[in-house]
Chains A and B, each alone.
Chain A
Amino acid sequence: MKPPEKRMKIEEMEPFSWEVIPVLSDEKSQDVDLLPAYAAPIFNKKETSRLVKEVAGVYPLKCLQHLKRVRPCKEKSSTHPLEILLCLVSDVREAHETKIIPSLSVLFNGSFDFSGLGEPFLVKVPAHPPLTRPQFEEAKCHWPTSFHEDKQITEAIAGQLFSKEEKVKMHMHMGLAIEAAKAGAGIGMEAVGAAVVQPNINEVLAVGHDCRNGINPLLHAVMVCIDLVASGQGGGVYSYRDHPACSFIPSETYRPAVSSSYSAGNSGSAEAEENGVCYICTGYDLFVTREPCVMCAMALVHSRIERVFYGTSSPDGALGTKYKIHTKKDLNHHYKVYKGIREKDCLELLKYN
């Protein structure tokens, strides 16, 4: 297989007509959930630290550690400088039922000196710590929230995760998948193609297309590629003699790989390299023209894939549409998923079927 980057210059590629969109877990992509809570004005700033201590003693808000206890008052003309979060509405049974805002003495049962504190009022607070910058921006409109930013996610959402060079490579690799899809369609298969790449050395290990209309209806493009990689490692199950567009390179030719500078968080491949073995698809990237089904998505979990890039969504897709198998907490391996790579070209493939 030819190293694809030699065929095209970066300058010719710009600007790209497609965007890389990360497919995030539900927790990371959902809107901010809000919970009703009581807050109270602090009239005397000097009492703040004492009040925080006293209030937290009664209502520690253990599940809401992301919330700051005190916020500056939003209205400039206000008579009080600060506001303190007291407790959730659900912490106070009677209030929950009657919808009457309880007094301080009801809330605290006279357990401490309320001087400096005003009458409680209702606020809404974010129920969960924000995981992404958009969630943080929304959350802090309601109540100040701490935010431990994951730079990678922020960049991903802002479309800045990949450099121009990386996008050129993606364009090439998806190009191989698209070509394979067309070749498959030419012999009566569904027009779906895929390629497996070892990212740190930019080596294409396998290219394949959907073979489901052949001897085995389960030979979707992803399953074909997984088996082609296995063939490259001296294993494999199926013969692709009749499918010249399905190919692999033997693992001896791409081993040993040295640097893993391509991407942070590529620990899988680094580990595999340290051990001097390739273990199934550990550390590899998959490019596939359309979103994998649930069988293929789970096959990629079993194969320890590192990242998946797909072109278009599928109606029963398992990496964003119907499920997000790659972020499922109960499973023992997780991978990153990006969609939208050459979306238009991948969409064109649907015409073949």
Chain B
Amino acid sequence: MEDGNRKDETFRPTSEQIERWMHRAFEMAKEALKNGEVPVGCLMVYENMILGQGRNEVNETKNATRHAEMVAIDQVLAWCRLNERDWHDVVKRTVLYVTVEPCIMCAAALRLLNIPLVVYGCQNDRFGGCGSVLSIPSDDLSNTGKPFQCISGYRHEEAVEMLKTFYRQENPNVPKSKARKKENISI
């Protein structure tokens, strides 16, 4: 087991690194928007290498959990297998760069993997798990991996604008009658 101090000093990317990787994440998000996808771009970077990059694949896979982060995580794990690396060692030195705050599910997934740091652009008011709806990175969850740090607000207006553009369109896969009706709160 590593002690917390050593971990902290290792995982503070420089502002140049943040600039560089976030720029790339934003390029991906723009690309997604152009192709009618949820405009979220994300990268998982380990020692200056991109081990994973994903975009939302919910519609293709018919699996609502296939958010960009989950797709990228799978790539990181696949890289570890291919290179015969223990994923525990790799993941604890991997930073996630993403244009939008991870949702509650993804935040929990990142925690379960012991990702130390997440850099993101704008908040996710609908589902955000890093402060907007819940605060998964810092909550007291001793059986759910380790807490992680967040750096937020990078080009957030731009990220919000992309989301707004996307959500003005309808999701053709949602059953019609379900569209934005006031839902009953279940017991």
Please list the residues of chain A having a beta carbon within 8 angstroms of any beta carbon in chain B.
22, 24-25, 28, 150, 152-153, 156, 215-218, 223, 226-227, 230, 233-237, 265, 268, 271-272, 274-275, 277, 279-282, 293-295, 298-299, 301-304, 314-316, 322-323, 325-336
Most chain A CB atoms below 10 A, which of B62, B126, B177: B62
B63 touches A265 (CB 8 A): no
Stretch in contact with the other chain, from B14-22, B44-52, B100-108, B149-157: B100-108
CB distance from A34 to the nearest CB of B (A): 24
Say yes or no for B169: interface residue by CB 8 A criterion: no
Residues of A within 8 A of B144 (CB): 293-295, 316
Stretch in contact with the other chain, from B2-10, B24-32, B65-73, B158-166: B65-73
Could you pull out 25 A-B pairs where Cβ atoms are within 8 angstroms? A25-B187, A153-B187, A215-B77, A217-B77, A218-B73, A227-B65, A237-B74, A275-B177, A279-B173, A280-B63, A282-B175, A295-B105, A295-B109, A298-B104, A299-B64, A303-B64, A315-B143, A316-B143, A322-B139, A322-B141, A326-B186, A328-B134, A329-B185, A331-B126, A336-B187
Q: What separation, in Å, do the CA atoms of A219 and B185 have in the docked complex?
A: 29
Please list the residues of chain B having a beta carbon within 8 angstroms of any beta carbon in chain A.
57, 60-66, 70, 73-74, 77, 81, 87, 103-105, 108-109, 112-113, 126-127, 129, 133-134, 136, 139, 141-144, 173-178, 183-187
**Known contacts A299-B64, A316-B142; A218 and B113 CB within 8 A of each other:** yes
A316 touches B178 (CB 8 A): no
CB distance from B62 to the nearest CB of A (A): 3
Residues of B within 8 A of A335 (CB): 186
Residue in contact with B175 in the complex, picked from A28, A150, A218, A279, CB distance below 8 Å: A279
Q: Count contacts between A and B, CB distance < 8 Å.
A: 134
A336 touches B186 (CB 8 A): yes
Residues of B within 8 A of A304 (CB): 64
**Known contacts A235-B62, A293-B108, A316-B143; A152 and B133 CB within 8 A of each other:** no
**Known contacts A279-B175, A335-B186; A294 and B63 CB within 8 A of each other:** no
Residue in contact with B112 in the complex, picked from A153, A218, A336, CB distance below 8 Å: A218
Residues of B within 8 A of A24 (CB): 187
Q: What separation, in Å, do the CA atoms of A28 and B177 have in the docked complex?
A: 28
A280 touches B134 (CB 8 A): no
CB distance from A41 to the nearest CB of B (A): 40
B175 touches A216 (CB 8 A): no
**Known contacts A237-B66, A299-B65; A277 and B175 CB within 8 A of each other:** yes
A217 touches B112 (CB 8 A): yes
Residues of B within 8 A of A277 (CB): 175
Residue in contact with A226 in the complex, picked from B64, B73, B136, B186, CB distance below 8 Å: B64
CB distance from A196 to the nearest CB of B (A): 13
Q: Using CB atoms, name the residue of chain B closest to A220.
A: B112
A274 touches B66 (CB 8 A): no
**Known contacts A279-B174, A299-B105; A294 and B141 CB within 8 A of each other:** yes
Residues of B within 8 A of A230 (CB): 61-63
Q: Using CB atoms, name the residue of chain B closest to A268.
A: B178
Residue in contact with A314 in the complex, picked from B129, B133, B143, B177, CB distance below 8 Å: B143
A275 touches B185 (CB 8 A): no
Residue in contact with B187 in the complex, picked from A156, A217, A330, CB distance below 8 Å: A156
B65 touches A303 (CB 8 A): yes
A332 touches B63 (CB 8 A): no
Residues of B within 8 A of A302 (CB): 64-65, 103, 105
B175 touches A217 (CB 8 A): no
Residues of A within 8 A of B143 (CB): 293, 314-316
Q: What separation, in Å, do the CA atoms of A304 and B185 have in the docked complex?
A: 13
